[in-house]
Amino acid sequence: MKKDFEVLENESIEECLQRMEKEGYTPIKRSEKPIFKEEKRNGKVEYVPHLRKIVFKGVKTK
């Protein structure tokens, strides 16, 4: 059984991994996705990196 665990806003990666372990999961994959925000500069709309979303995929530990 697989489950996704997102690193929360005020949580470190280590804290997320500990949360996974408490729920009985082992990480098998990590993915990062940038979150962009719109900024208007000189009359143009530009997309600039704002945050990054980190998600671990875990499998149930036996």
Predicted model pTM: 0.78
Domain boundaries, the chain: 2-60
Which tens digits make up the pLDDT trace of 9-55? 899 999 999 999 999 999 999 999 999 999 998 889 999 999 999 99
pLDDT score of 62? 76
Give me the half-sphere count of Cα atoms (radius 13 Å) on the Cβ side of residue 48. Answer: 8
| Contact partners, residue 14, CB within 8 Å, separation at least 6 | none
- 3-state secondary structure string, 16-31? HHHHHHHCCEEEEEEE
pLDDT score of 10? 92
pLDDT score of 52? 92
DSSP code of residue 12: -
Note the residue count of the chain: 62
Q: Is 13 helix (H, G, I), strand (E, B) or coil?
A: helix
